[in-house]
A = this chain, B = another copy of it.
Amino acid sequence: MTAAKTLPDAGPRSGGRGRPSKAKGLDLKETILDAAEGLFARHGFYGVTTRQVASEAGVDTALIHYYFGAKRELFDAVFLRRAEILNQAREASMDAYVKAVPAAEMTVEGVIEAFIEPLLRISQDGGPGWKSYFALVAQVNNTPAWGGETMARFFDPVVHRLVETLKSVRPQAEYRDLYWCYQFLTGSMMLTLSETGRIDSLSEGECHSSDLEAVRRRLFSYCAAGFEAVIAKASSAP
């Protein structure tokens, strides 16, 4: 609390006097976030101690509280850091699709691809931190106690955008069906992005969690066909 109050509000540079925070301060903050991200992703919020984070980051325990306050605030900082980038990338991707394709030619698969592809690309090219982050989000997504609120707080807008776009492509579809299908989609997507390695052992080497190109070749058409089937079934039997 006291520590949190003395935090420099803006990131880059803080006013005029005193030691400039550019020296190592911000780097250390990022280092701490990186360490916390990896550990939280692997062991969950309660499975990680602030001492472990400090040790992994190579800093003193007190420094973590100095920069982030309580442990939960550190977790939120980890979660928030990439959530904004993620939402931006997804909104941009859907913008691009809607802008590039005439309304009459938009497809369910195209919309879904615009929604998911940014995540695959970032996971492949964004560096190792992103892999941890996706595993973290997948874990939060399946956390009954507080996962729902957290996911809603950060990711609801882009999901609503997906549903609305799909509704415009298939106007006869019911929202009920679209939301259920979205849930099925996000379950597949999150489990895949978290790359738990289960499919590697299950398939005895036929498939690899990290092979996102293989995912790309299958997930879009899988989900699109699922959506279409559910929509068709609903409209045929009301």
Contact = CB atoms under 8 A, between A and B. Distances in A.
A194 to B, nearest CB: 6
Contact of A176 (B42, B190, B214): B214
What number of copies of this chain does the assembly contain?
Answer: 2
Interface string A152-176: 1000100110000000000000011
A191 B186 contact: yes
Contacts of A218: 177, 180-181, 184, 230, 233
A203 interface: yes
Contacts of A224: 229
B41 A43 contact: no
A210 to B, nearest CB: 13
A230 B219 CA distance: 8
Contacts of A190: 142, 187, 191
Contacts of A192: 183-184, 187
A116 to B, nearest CB: 12
Interface stretch (A53-61, A81-89, A143-151): A143-151
Contacts of A91: none
Contacts of A177: 218
Contacts of A195: 144
A183 B199 contact: yes
A164 to B, nearest CB: 13
Contact of A142 (B182, B196, B199): B196
A196 B144 contact: yes
Given A141-B198, A147-B196, A159-B202, 6 more contacts: A138-B142, A141-B142, A141-B191, A147-B198, A184-B223, A222-B226
